[in-house]
Amino acid sequence: MKRLLYSEPSLDDLKGILDYIARDKPIAARDFIGSLIERCHLISENPEMGMRRDDLALDLRLFTHRGFGIYYRNLDAEVLIERVLHPSLDVGRQSFG
């Protein structure tokens, strides 16, 4: 398993998701963020499983979890989670690294 790293924007994304869901369902928010983080660990164990998204940024990959896009890079010794985005966002307008 490669070391798992999170970019600052991805941490902001996770906090925003947590805050949004927690407005109505705090326990569900923690559970959902936990499941997203578990999926990130799965990605670090199998970094080639995501779909390539070179159209958005060089060496960027995408794996989805319950509709949310986990955008990451498979680096030499690490997997870097770049962003975690809701499907309604225009990903073409987002920054990746």
Q: Domains in the chain and their CATH numbers?
A: 3-89 (3.30.2310.20)
pLDDT at 97 over 80: no
Are the beta carbons of 55 and 66 closer than 8 angstroms? no
Q: Output the pLDDT for position 94.
A: 84
Quote the distance between the C-alpha of residue 9 and its chain's center: 10
pLDDT digit string, tens, across residues 38-94: 999 999 999 999 999 999 999 999 999 999 999 999 999 999 999 999 988 878 788
Q: Output the pLDDT for position 96.
A: 86
Q: Which two three-digit tokens encode residue 90?
A: 């225009």
DSSP for 4-54, written as a single string: EEE-HHHHHHHHHHHHHHHTT-HHHHHHHHHHHHHHHHHHHHSTTSSEE-T
Task: Give 37's pLDDT tier (boundaries 50, 70, 90).
Answer: very high
